[in-house]
């Protein structure tokens, strides 16, 4: 994280008050895409790009939220917060306040400063970082605490019910519960997880295609609906199959002909991705990097061809990486249709890998990609 000089003094100067400061990270997903809302498995890591939230009490009945990124301040009455999103950055903190109120908390007058360096619209969960940082800050002001999984659910509700994006639990969960030097194998059914250590000689190289990604857009919704429609067909035969987590490839062989062609493809991705994610956790635990790389390659193929969640630039970013020294595995990460690829790379080759990938991509598309060598980081916590 590259904190702006004096985040504390920005809050102090603006609000004449000493802030308590909280940090919540963005994330990268190693494998397990579009499986979270199917109650399946994901394997994300928190990264060292994050949002900071500074908070202090007020006594004038107002809620004042300032974004250092947008250089914009917004005022609200604590007693009558907006009931609907307004398609602006402030929807995320307001969503958290609105769900906290719905969960029975009375929201006091407060000043909140926000700043973050998670690149926006790049599929690295800037929204989850903003929600989780806000939630921790406000909970501390009201003297309440939520355990990590409950904090993640609160923030997912803010995004689903207030912002209006129908995301799963992965992003908020890893932002709230990440652990330095580890990914998490998360079971999105019961939110149990296992720590998956990332070997110290493996770097997380995140390559931004610079194609904007958004889960508020129609594609995320459409893919989700198509995969859920496939599950509904299976459930007609096997009522126990409430989510694609409960379905098998055998179910698709038996009843795939009753599904719309796109639904069949989406379901094949989700069901096989759950299997790959479990296998990837085993490979990582055994230090079998060849198998991990193979699973990531297969996951990208499935995401791109069956789920049709990739784009020309992301497919190229993955294929341009294939013969570079040090590559273990590469795939598109996050909600899709743009954003970033995750490349697991031998640490000693990470710098040369990043430079070579950037120059190949720039030569292909005439766009300079941002490439970051990241570290798996701790989840949200109080900074000062």
Rounded-to-integer distance, Cα 382 and Cα 373, Å: 25
Nearer to ligand GAF, 21 or 196 (CB): 196
- Asked whether position 124 contacts ligand GAF by CB under 6 A, the answer is no
> What span, in angstroms and rounded, lies between the C-alpha atoms of 356 and 58?
51
How many chain residues interact with ligand GAF (CB under 6 A)?
Answer: 11
User: In this complex, which beta carbon is closest to ligand GAF, that of residue 37 or of residue 66?
Assistant: 37
**Residue 25 in contact with ligand GAF, rule: CB under 6 A:** no
Cβ–Cβ under 8 Å, residues 155 and 161: no
What φ, ψ does residue 38 adopt, rounded to 5°?
Answer: -100, 15
The distance of closest approach from Cβ of residue 228 to ligand GAF in the complex, given in angstroms and rounded to an integer, is 13
- Note if 48 is an active site residue: no
Q: Give the x/- contact pattern for ligand GAF in 297-336, rule: CB under 6 A.
A: -------------------------------------xx-
Work out the angle between the directed axes of helices 148-157 and 126-141 (0-180°, nearest 10): 110
* Residues in 152-171 that interact with ligand GAF by CB under 6 A: 167-168, 170-171
If binding is defined by CB under 6 A, does position 74 make contact with ligand GAF? no
Tokens found for residue 170: 């992965």
CB count in 10 Å sphere of residue 323: 8
Helix H or strand E segment including 65: strand 62-67
We find the least distance from the C-beta atom of residue 234 to ligand GAF, in angstroms, to be 20
What's the min distance (Å) between Cβ of 310 and ligand GAF?
Answer: 12
Quick check: 36 binds ligand GAF (CB under 6 A)?
yes
Residue 371 touches ligand GAF, criterion: CB under 6 A: no
Query: Minimum CB separation from ligand GAF for residue 344, in Å?
Result: 18
Instruction: State the Cα–Cα distance between residues 107 and 105, nearest whole angstrom.
Output: 6
Residue among 11, 34, 74, 300 that touches ligand GAF (CB under 6 A): 34
- Does position 273 interact with ligand GAF (CB under 6 A)? The reply is no
Q: Taking CB under 6 A as the rule, does residue 266 contact ligand GAF?
A: no
Question: To which H or E segment does residue 22 belong?
Answer: strand 20-29
Verify binding: residue 293, ligand GAF, rule CB under 6 A.
no
Q: Alpha-carbon distance 377 to 182, whole Å?
A: 8
Catalytic residue among 36, 48, 91, 171: 171
Please tell me whether residue 178 binds ligand GAF under the rule CB under 6 A: no
CA 168, CA 156: separation in Å to the nearest integer?
Answer: 7
Task: CB nearer to ligand GAF: give 10 or 176.
Answer: 176
215 binds ligand GAF (CB under 6 A): yes
Q: Does 99 participate in binding ligand GAF (rule CB under 6 A)?
A: no
CB within 8 Å of 326: residues ≥ 6 apart: 345, 346, 348, 349, 350, 352, 353
Say which residues have a Cβ less than 8 Å from residue 333's Cβ, sequence separation at least 6: 28, 29, 30, 33, 123, 206, 339, 340, 341, 342
The answer to whether the CB of 132 falls within 8 A of the CB of 116 is: no
Closer residue to ligand GAF (CB): 128 or 138: 128
Distance CA 119, CA 121 (A): 7
> So which residues are the catalytic ones?
171
> Which stretches of the chain bind ligand GAF, using CB under 6 A?
33-34, 36-37, 167-168, 170-171, 215, 334-335
């Amino acid at each position: 994280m590259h904190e702006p000089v004096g985040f504390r003094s920005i809050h102090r100067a603006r609000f004449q008050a000493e802030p308590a400061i909280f940090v919540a990270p963005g994330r990268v997903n190693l494998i397990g895409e579009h499986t979270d809302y199917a109650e399946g498995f994901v394997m994300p890591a928190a990264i060292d790009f994050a949002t900071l939230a500074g908070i202090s009490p007020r006594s004038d009945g107002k809620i004042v939220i300032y974004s250092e990124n947008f250089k914009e301040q917004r005022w609200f009455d604590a007693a009558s917060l907006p009931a609907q999103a307004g398609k602006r950055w402030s929807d995320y903190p307001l969503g958290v306040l609105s769900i906290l109120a719905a969960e029975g908390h009375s929201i006091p007058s407060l000043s909140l400063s926000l700043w973050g360096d998670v690149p926006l619209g790049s599929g690295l969960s800037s929204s989850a970082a903003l929600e989780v940082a806000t939630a921790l800050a406000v909970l501390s002001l009201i003297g309440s605490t939520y355990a990590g999984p409950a904090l993640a659910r609160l923030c997912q509700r803010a995004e689903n019910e207030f912002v209006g994006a129908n995301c799963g639990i992965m992003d908020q969960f890893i932002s709230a519960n990440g652990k330095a030097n580890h990914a998490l194998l998360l079971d999105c059914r019961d939110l149990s997880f296992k720590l998956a250590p990332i070997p110290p000689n493996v770097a997380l190289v995140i390559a931004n295609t610079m194609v904007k990604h958004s889960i508020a857009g129609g594609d995320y919704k459409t893919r989700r609906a198509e995969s859920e429609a496939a599950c509904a067909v299976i459930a007609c035969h096997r009522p126990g199959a409430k989510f694609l987590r409960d379905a098998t490839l055998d179910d698709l062989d038996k009843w795939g002909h009753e599904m719309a062609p796109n639904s069949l493809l989406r379901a094949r991705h989700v069901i096989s991705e759950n299997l790959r994610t479990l296998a990837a956790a085993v490979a990582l635990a055994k230090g079998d990097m060849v198998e991990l790389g193979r699973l990531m390659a297969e996951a990208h193929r499935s995401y791109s061809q069956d789920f049709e969640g990739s784009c020309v630039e992301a497919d190229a970013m993955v294929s341009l990486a294939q013969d570079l020294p040090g590559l273990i595995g590469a795939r598109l990460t996050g909600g899709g249709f743009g954003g970033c690829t995750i490349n697991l790379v031998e640490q000693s080759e990470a710098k040369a890998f990043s430079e070579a990938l950037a120059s190949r991509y720039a030569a292909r598309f005439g766009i300079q990609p941002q490439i970051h060598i990241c570290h798996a980081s701790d989840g949200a916590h109080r900074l000062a």
